[in-house]
Amino acid sequence: MNWSYREPTLDEILSDSIIRALMEADGIDPQELAATLRLTGRKLVRRADPLGAPSMPGRRPSTP
């Protein structure tokens, strides 16, 4: 993994051999965890922007 210039993606994190070993030791299913994290991310985006507009870094909500 090359994390020196950006944050790792969820797939990169979950495919890391150390992370995989820890999840296996803890009895965590990687696919179930990924699905849960993606669902949570979508919910957070919707909560941050209730109108459903795509989230953009630095974007400020419009005021009526």
Q: pLDDT at position 48, please?
A: 83
- CA distances to 2, 14, 47 from 41, rounded to whole Å, are 23, 16, 10
Query: Is the CA virtual torsion 50, 7, 11, 15 positive or negative?
Result: negative
pLDDT digits (tens, 9 = 90+) for 9-64: 999 999 999 999 999 999 999 999 999 999 999 999 888 876 655 555 555 555 54
DSSP character string of 19-46: HHHHHHHHT--HHHHHHHHHHHHHHHHH
pLDDT grade for 1, boundaries at 50, 70 and 90: low
| Interior angle at CA 52, CA 47 and CA 53, nearest 5 | 115
Q: Are 38 and 14 in contact (CB under 8 A)?
A: no
The type of residue at 28 is I
